[in-house]
Amino acid sequence: MAHQIAVIGGDGIGQEVTSEALKVMGAAGVELDTTEFDLGGARYLRDGEILSDETLDRLRGFDAILLGAVGTPGVPPGVIERGLLLKMRFELDLYINQRPFTGTAPGHSEPHDFVVIRENTEGPYVGEGGFLRKGTAHEVATQGSVNTRMGVERCVRYAFELASERDRKHLTLVHKTNVLTFAGNLWERAFDAVAAEFPAIETAYNHVDAPCIYFVQDPHRYDVVVTDNLFGDILTDLGGAVSGGIGLASSANLNPARTGPSMFEPVHGSAPDIAGQNKANPTAAILSAALMLDFLGESDTADRIRGACAQPVTGSTTEVGDTIAGRVRN
Ligand code: IPM
Ligand code: MN
C-alpha cells in the first residue's frame, strides 16, 4: 500500500531539494501517494495563511509530512517559525527531534557516527514569558524554560531505547546542571531513573559547553546524545558542521507514540540567496526522506538511500538528485 505523504516544499530552496528527495524515493521503488501543501512565507505574504487549524487537521490524516524549508525575507522573525514549524511540532506532539551525524570531522582520519536526540516540545521553545513596560526605559522581558517530568522522561526513554538498538550502547546527557539548577536537576533525576531500567547502557554527562569542544576535537566519544530543545538546536548545527556541512544534515521530528504523522526536514533553512538557481545540495533532504522511510517501516530502502548518499556527489541540485537516484535504482 502506498504511504500517504503530505509534502510542504515551502520557501527558497525547499521546493527544489524536496523534488529531488521524491525523485530518489521513486527511483528506489517506494510507493508514495503525495499531496502538496502550499505553505510557508511566500503563501503568508500572498493571502495571510500560515497554518490554519483546518489545514492542521488535514495534515493529521497523513502517514508522514515531508518538509523542505520555510522562511522568506520580508516576513518578520518568528512568524513562520512559530506559526508553522513550531505549531506543527507542538500540535502534532512531535516530541523527538532526531538528528544523525556521520562523517569525518576536520582534522580526523576516522569517521564518527552519533545521533542527537533533542527534546522538541518544551524548554524555552514553548514561548513562556512576555514583556512588561515594553518600549520604555524600564522594559522587562522574560522567557522561561518549561520542563515537565513527563516530557523529559519520554524523551530520555526514547534515547535509551535508541541506544539499546545501537552497537555501542552509550548515551550522554547534555545539560547545564551547574547553572540551570532547576531544569537541569529535573533532567538529571529523570535520566537517572530511566537509566535504572537500562542496565546495559553505559551513560555519561556533559555540561553543554563541553560538547562544543568535543564535537570538534573528539566526536568519537559519542554514540547517542540526549538534550533539551535549545541546547539541541545549537549543538546540532555544530554536529552538521563537523559531519560534512549543513548540506548533509537531516532530521526527523517524531511522534513515537504514533498518535499522528511525524515530520521530516533537512536541518538547513530556505537559503533565499541561492533559491531557484539549481545550486542547493539536496542531500540533506534526501537523507531526511530516508529517516521518513525508517519510520514508515522501510529501513532496507532507507539504508540503500543512505548508501547511495555516502559516496561524494557534486553538481547542480538536479544532477546530485539524478546521480543518487541512479545509484539506488541499480
Ligand atoms: C531547527 C531550526 C528551527 C529551530 C527554527 C527555524 C525555528 O533552527 O529546526 O533547528 O530552532 O528549531
Ligand atoms: Mn536550528
Q: What is the pLDDT of residues 169-227, one digit of tens each?
A: 999 999 999 999 999 999 999 999 999 999 999 999 999 999 999 999 999 999 999 99
Predicted pLDDT of residue 102: 97
Name the amino acid, one letter, at 210: A
Cβ(275)–Cβ(13) below 8 Å: yes
Percentage above 90 pLDDT, the chain: 98
Give the pLDDT confidence score for residue 244 in this predicted structure: 94
Ligand 1 atom closest to the CA of 265, numbered from 1: 9
310 alpha carbon – ligand 1 mean position (Å): 25
- Element of type H or E holding 101: strand 96-103
The answer to whether the beta carbons of residues 97 and 39 sit under 8 Å apart is: no
The model's pLDDT over 93-139, given as tens digits with 9 standing for 90+, comes to 999 999 999 999 999 999 999 999 999 999 999 999 999 999 999 99
For the CA of 86, the closest atom of ligand 1 is 7
- Give yes or no for residue 330 having a pLDDT over 80: no
Any atom of ligand 1 within 6 Å of the Cβ of 305: no
Which of 127, 166, 169 has its CA nearest to residue 144? 127
Q: Which pLDDT value is given to residue 209?
A: 98
pLDDT at 1: 85
Distance between Cα 249 and ligand 2 center (Å): 11
SS3 171: strand
The Cα–Cα gap between 19 and 35 comes to 13
How do residues 283-324 score in pLDDT, each as one tens digit?
999 999 999 999 999 999 999 999 999 988 999 999 999 999
Q: What is the DSSP string of 258-299?
A: -SS-EEEEESS---GGGTTTT-S--HHHHHHHHHHHHHTT-H
Section 37-65 average pLDDT? 97
Residues constituting the chain: 330
Q: Cα dist. 118→96, 216, 228, 274 in Å?
A: 6, 19, 6, 29
242 lines ligand 1 (CB under 6 A): no
Angle of helix 14-27 relative to helix 299-310, nearest 10 degrees, comes to 120
Mean pLDDT of the region 46-72? 97
Question: Which grid coordinates belong to 215?
Answer: 564535537
pLDDT at 240: 97
User: pTM of the prediction?
Assistant: 0.97
Q: Report H helices in 48-148.
A: 53-59, 79-80, 87-91
Does 277 score more than 80 pLDDT? Answer: yes
The distance of Cα 172 from the centroid of its chain, to the nearest Å, equals 18
Cβ-contact 177, 187 below 8 angstroms: yes
Q: Does pLDDT of 32 surpass 90?
A: yes
Share of the chain above pLDDT 70, in %: 100
Cβ of residue 85 lying under 6 Å from some atom of ligand 1: yes
User: In testing the pocket of ligand 1, which one of 126, 233, 237 has its CB within 8 Å of the most ligand atoms?
Assistant: 233
* Radius of gyration (C-alpha) of the chain in whole angstroms: 20
